[in-house]
Amino acid sequence: MLAGIKLVSIFGFCDIRNFTDATEVLQEGVMLFVNEIGEIVHKMVDEYSGAANKNIGDAFLLVWKLADQDTDVNKVTGEVKPKQNARVAQLCDMSLLAFVLMISAIKKSRKMIKYNTHKGLNERMPNYQVKLGLGLHLGYAIEGAIGSYYKIDASYLSPHAKMAERLEGATKAFAVPMLIHQTLYGHFTRKTRTILRCVDYITMGANPVPCKLYTIDLDIEKIKLEDVQPVLSSKEKKIARVHARIKRNNLRMAAFNS
C-alpha cells in the first residue's frame, strides 16, 4: 500500500486489427500469433528507449518515461509538464520511429507470412494481412502498483494514458494506421514535424477543448521480406541480446547528446 508517483510519459497503444476473427479461426494457435507480434512490438519499443507495460489480449500499452530533469512541476497546482528541450524532442522522435519501424517489421517479417497466406484467415477475411492500429500521446500519469496480496500490476493511471487508447480506436474511423495527438506533435523535432500530416481538428472524450490529430503516410507495399535469419543457439541468442542492448544504449547517448 504505497502512494503513486506523478511523472510525464509518452504513451503508445498498439492493437492487433481483426483480432476477434483471427481468434475464431486460429483457436489454440492464437497464443502463438499474439506472442509473435508481441516479440516484434516489444523489440522495437525496447530498441528505441521505451518499455512494454501491459499486454491486454490483442493490445499493448507502451511507455517512454521522461527523466525528472526534463519535466517542470508547478509548486502551487502540482501540475507536471515536459520541458521544451533536445532530450525530450529526441525521445518523442524515438517513440514515433519505434512505431514506424514496428509497422515495417510486421510487413517484412517471415513469421507473418504464414498468417497472411493462412487459408482459414483468407476465407474469413479475403486478402488478409497482419496489421496494427497505433495511438501516441504525451502527458502525465500516476505510476504505481495496482492490486492486492494475490496479484499486483505496475500501472499508469491518467486521462493521458487513456487518450492513447482512444487515438488507436479512432484510427479505424480515419482509415490510417496511426494517430498522434497535438501535444506530442508539439515536442517533436522540426524535421519530424515536416513529415506528419494533420488529419482533423476535433474534440475527444469528455474534454471540450478541440485538438489536432496527426498521422504519417507510409508506403508499406514497397517493403520486401527480410532475409532468412540463421538459427541461433540459446547462448548465441543471449550474446546477441547483450550486444543489441549495448548498441541501443550507445545510440541513445549519442542522440541525447547531439
7-16, 42-51, 74-83, 137-146: lowest mean pLDDT where? 74-83
CB 22 within 8 A of CB 161: no
* DSSP 3-state of 16: strand
pLDDT, the chain, mean = 88
Q: What pTM was computed for the model?
A: 0.87
How many other CB atoms are there within 10 angstroms of residue 220's CB atom? 14
> Which element (helix H / strand E) includes 211?
strand 207-215
Task: Report residue 4: phi and psi, to 5°.
Answer: -80, 175
Domain covering 5-227: architecture: 2-Layer Sandwich (3.30)
Q: What is the pLDDT of residue 138?
A: 95
CB 131 within 8 A of CB 17: yes
Q: What is the pLDDT of residue 254?
A: 73
> How confident is the model over 218-244, as a mean pLDDT?
77
> How confident is the model over 40-57, as a mean pLDDT?
89
What's the rounded Cα separation, in Å, for the pair 216 and 103? 12
Q: Which residues lie below 8 Å from residue 90, measured CB to CB, with a gap of 6+?
A: 189, 255, 256, 258
CB 92 within 8 A of CB 188: yes
59 secondary structure, DSSP code: E
- The string of pLDDT tens digits covering residues 145-178 is 887 878 777 788 888 888 999 999 999 999 999 9
